[in-house]
Amino acid sequence: MEKRVVVTGMGVISPIGNDVPTFWSNLISGVSGVDIIKAFPVDDLPVRIGAEVKDFDPSKWIDLKESKRMDPVAHFGIAASEQAIQDAGLNESSLNPEKIGVIVGSGIGGIQTMENQHSVLVTKSHRFVSPLFIPMMIPDIIPGRIAINHGFMGPNYSVTSACATSSHTIGIAMRHILCGDADVIVTGGSEASISPISLAGFTNMKALSRRNDEPQKASRPFDINRDGFIIGEGAGIIVLEEMEYAIRRSAPIYAEITGYGFSGDAYHITAPHPEGKGQALAIRSAINMSGINLENYEYINAHGTSTPLNDKYETVAIKSVFGQHAFDLNISSTKSMTGHLLGAAGAIEFIALCLALKNQLIPPTINYDEPDPDCDLNYTPNKAIEKSIHAGLSSNFGFGGHNAVLAAKKFEF
């Protein structure tokens, strides 16, 4: 029998909730997690808004002494992984740790630690730089710590591909399971890049919304008045398992992951290809791997960043793949609520796709007030809808022209 891979556990730390039920409830209710940034002074900055994680206490998930040896990017990733591992019941002593892997990525890694320790170097001296600086900064420390915490000895590494990072980690994890490298993989992404230097960098490249007076309305994917993305933070972690293995141990099953497509634009370091060629290639690849006909897809959780070019060219890519059926699809950008979690976006949004399939409920694109003639599809404006969904896609595209698309379907034996 051909192997199948299913989702058996989920964990979320996000701007709209620090557990899966809260995240999902706020998502389908159209709650925005965007506000004035509280982490550092922003009064004199041209961009003062972001989607920060709120009311997060790392000590709920991590020993206090150990948490001080970590960057917030690890706090988020470990907290979300603990949720997912508990949800999937991976703490069973009967499981073979050699067949359980951890693949978790981050687009930027421990940039808050980098910024802080560079300040120490400049204002004091090299002697005061923390000996923990390197392990606090590098992204691969997150899967390393998760594996150490649980004794998981299977495939273990990190992936970095900007905003496509955690879509890549999930797709790669699925392939490891299909190849027999592991029975179970804990996978996803984490990001904690709301810092002065990150904000300055994204601001100066004119990527961010400047709608400071209306933070909750600033992220408005596909709307004609969109003016940039909202920098967000958090983590999304899932547990993927070979289906027969999951069934034997009576694990909960949220959805089945059926396809993974990836490509490069080979066009520009930040701008998407104007004909959506690379994006379309990744979408087609995911669909082809899934074995599900185009007309049987009902939903796409889009990349939908709320930037002028991305939303326009993503629409072009969708239409080039689906043709007339593109107009029958429901599309939504949950970034309208969570902001853009960069390397964690793919995982958070794949979780949203799986929950949409399980609950037969499509989350909205909020702040969709005035249509853009160049974005003429059904973006599920402002209100969640109940709909029979058999199959869907989650798309994420990153700086550098990195494209990754995941396909999933409602789980059926």
Burial of 131 (0-12, 13-18, 19+ CB in 10 A): exposed
Query: DSSP characters for 325-381?
Result: GGGGSEEE-THHHH-B-GGGHHHHHHHHHHHHHHHTEEPPBTT--SBBTTB-S---B
Look up residue 268 and give its two tokens.
Answer: 């520009």
Element (H, E) at 135: helix 133-137
Q: Are strands 156-157 and 100-105 parallel, antiparallel or unpaired?
A: parallel
Known catalytic membership, residue 163 = yes
Torsion of CA 84, 111, 395, 184, to 10 degrees: -30
Both tokens assigned to 387:
């709909």
Beta bridge partners of 395: 405
Options 176, 340, 354, 402, the catalytic residue: 340
Among 150, 168, 176, 303, the active-site one is 303
Tokens of 36: 């004035």
Angle among Cα 381, 387, 393 to the nearest 5 degrees reads 75
Rama region for 295: left / alpha / beta (φ>0; ψ in -120 to 50; rest): alpha
Q: Which of 163, 176, 354, 375 is catalytic?
A: 163
One-letter amino acid identity for 363?
A: P
| C-alpha pair distances (Å), 256 with each of 9, 109, 262 | 12, 29, 19
Is residue 354 annotated as a catalytic residue, yes or no?
no
- Cβ atoms within 10 Å, residue 291: 11
User: N- to C-terminal Cα distance for the chain?
Assistant: 13
Contacts of 114 (CB under 8 A, 6+ apart): 137
Is 340 a residue of the active site?
yes
Residue 97 Ramachandran class (φ > 0 left, ψ -120 to 50 alpha, else beta): alpha
Active-site residues: which are they? 163, 303, 340
